[in-house]
Structures are given as structure tokens and as C-alpha cells.
């Protein structure tokens, strides 16, 4: 139990930072990617589709290996474990967020498009002022849930040596030889945080559904 403050600090300093950092990078980029993915120009849409499909088929740890191990070999740029994990997580989340944003955009009725364009807006203006605001509200719960998954996935960065909570637990266990207490503590910490967060997202979704009636 003495280890708990230590573990919690690692959680805040690394897991939370990694998650929020990755989401902050991925969210704006994935909005552009989703629009690109829906583009009628195949030269733009196909590469986006390929990106999403490839990244969603790979394990996150392998993406981390690419940046942490292979990048320095190819061009001599050496990236620290933390930044490798952050970039890998961001690249990974871009793929998942893009799909969420895309289905959010597609869930807005096509009549809304037509109405917008008929009232004299350009396609971009209709997207910006009519489609995106509605889509954003619909996809918020899914985006938050995906953020929660990213938070859980941040533990994978321990494999390349980021001193996040799982890593600290393993090290502490090697010293104190008390896996029962330590791993129960670790599991309970994640359960409590993620359970509370996912319940809040669920209630948010229910409120949206009632308000917007979809």
C-alpha cells in the first residue's frame, strides 16, 4: 500500500499525459482525415482509407517499435521512449477517431446538406456550420469512449520502457515480491477510474439522445 502514491503519480505523469497528448494531436487531424476519407476525389479518399485500415490492423506495440526502434536506424533520428509512445498512440488514435468522425458526419441526414446548399451556402460552409456541429454532438460519446480505450492502451508503452503505472508496478514487484497486493491495486485503480468515466459517458449519451431525439 505504501507504493500507491508512487503508482498514482506515474498514472498522472505518464498514462494521463500520453492519453491527453495523443487525443489533442489526433482529434483535429482526424477531422480533416474524415472529410478527406469522404472526398469524392479518389486520390484523396483512397490513401486515407488505406491508412485507417492499416493502422487498425496493427498491434499498438508494433507501431511503437516502428518509431522507437526502426526510425533511428532509417534516418538517425532518435526519439525518447515517451515521445515514441506519444506519437505511436496519436497515429493509432487518428485511425480510430477518423472512423468515428466519418460515421458522425454520415449520420447527419443528407437533406441537411441539400437544405444548406439550397439556402445559398457553399459546400464548405454547409459542412462547417451545419454538418460538423450536429455530427460533433452525436459522436462525442464515441470519441470519449475511444479516449478511454486510449487511456487503457497507454499501459502498452511500458513495453518500450516508459515509466508509466504498469512499469512502476512491475519494478516495485521485483523489489518487494508482493504481486498480490500490487496487481490487485493496479487493477482496482484502473477499474474504478474507467468504470466511473464510462458511466459518465453513458449518461451523457442518454442525455444527448433525449435532447436531440435520434
Partner 1 sequence: MTGTVDWSILWTGTTGRSLVDALILTCEISFISWILAMALGLLIGVLRESPWRMARVFSAAYVEVFRNIPLLVQLFFIYFLFPRILPRPVANVLFDLGWEIVAAVITLSLYSSAKIAEHVRSGYNTIGQKLRQAAASSGLSWWQVQRHVMLGLLLRTIAPSLTSEFVTIFKGSSLAMVVGVMETTYVTRQIGTETFQWLPTNVYATTVYLVCAWMIAGVMLVIEKKIHVAGRIGS
Cβ distance 152 to 198 under 8 Å?
no
Cβ nearer to partner 1, comparing 93 with 153: 153
Cβ nearer to partner 1, comparing 50 with 118: 50
C-alpha 17/C-alpha 21 separation (Å) is: 6
Cβ nearer to partner 1, comparing 192 with 212: 192
Nearest approach, Cβ of residue 165 and partner 1 (Å):
9
C-alpha 52/C-alpha 44 separation (Å) is: 13
C-alpha 30/C-alpha 91 separation (Å) is: 10
Cβ within 8 Å of residue 154, ≥6 positions away: 14, 15, 18, 19, 22, 85, 89, 164
Nearest approach, Cβ of residue 129 and partner 1 (Å):
33
What does the binding site for partner 1 look like in residue numbers (CB under 8 A)? 54, 57-62, 65-66, 69-70, 72-74, 76, 152-153, 155-156, 158-159, 166, 169-170, 173, 179-180, 183-184, 186-187, 190-191, 194-195, 198
Q: How many residues does the chain have?
A: 214
Cβ nearer to partner 1, comparing 111 with 177: 177
Nearest approach, Cβ of residue 202 and partner 1 (Å):
11
Helix, strand, or coil (residue 14): helix
Amino acid at each position: 500500500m505504501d507504493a500507491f502514491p508512487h503508482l498514482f503519480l506515474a498514472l498522472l505523469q505518464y498514462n494521463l499525459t500520453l492519453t491527453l497528448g495523443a487525443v489533442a494531436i489526433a482529434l483535429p487531424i482526424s477531422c480533416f482525415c474524415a472529410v478527406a476519407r469522404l472526398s469524392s476525389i479518389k486520390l484523396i479518399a483512397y490513401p486515407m482509407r488505406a491508412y485507417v485500415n492499416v493502422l487498425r490492423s496493427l498491434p499498438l506495440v508494433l507501431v511503437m517499435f516502428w518509431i522507437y526502434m526502426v526510425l533511428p536506424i532509417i534516418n538517425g533520428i532518435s526519439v525518447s521512449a515517451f515521445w515514441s509512445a506519444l506519437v505511436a498512440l496519436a497515429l493509432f488514435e487518428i485511425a480510430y477517431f477518423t472512423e468515428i468522425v466519418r460515421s458522425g458526419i454520415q449520420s447527419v441526414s443528407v437533406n441537411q446538406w441539400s437544405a444548406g446548399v439550397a439556402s445559398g451556402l457553399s459546400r464548405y460552409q454547409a459542412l462547417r456550420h451545419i454538418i460538423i456541429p450536429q455530427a460533433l454532438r452525436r459522436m462525442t460519446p464515441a470519441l470519449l469512449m475511444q479516449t478511454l480505450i486510449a487511456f487503457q492502451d497507454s499501459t502498452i508503452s511500458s513495453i518500450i520502457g516508459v515509466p508509466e503505472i504498469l512499469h512502476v508496478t512491475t519494478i516495485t514487484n521485483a523489489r518487494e515480491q508482493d504481486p498480490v497486493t500490487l496487481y490487485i491495486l493496479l487493477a482496482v485503480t484502473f477499474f474504478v477510474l474507467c468504470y466511473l468515466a464510462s458511466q459518465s459517458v453513458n449518461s451523457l449519451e442518454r442525455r444527448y439522445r433525449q435532447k436531440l431525439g435520434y
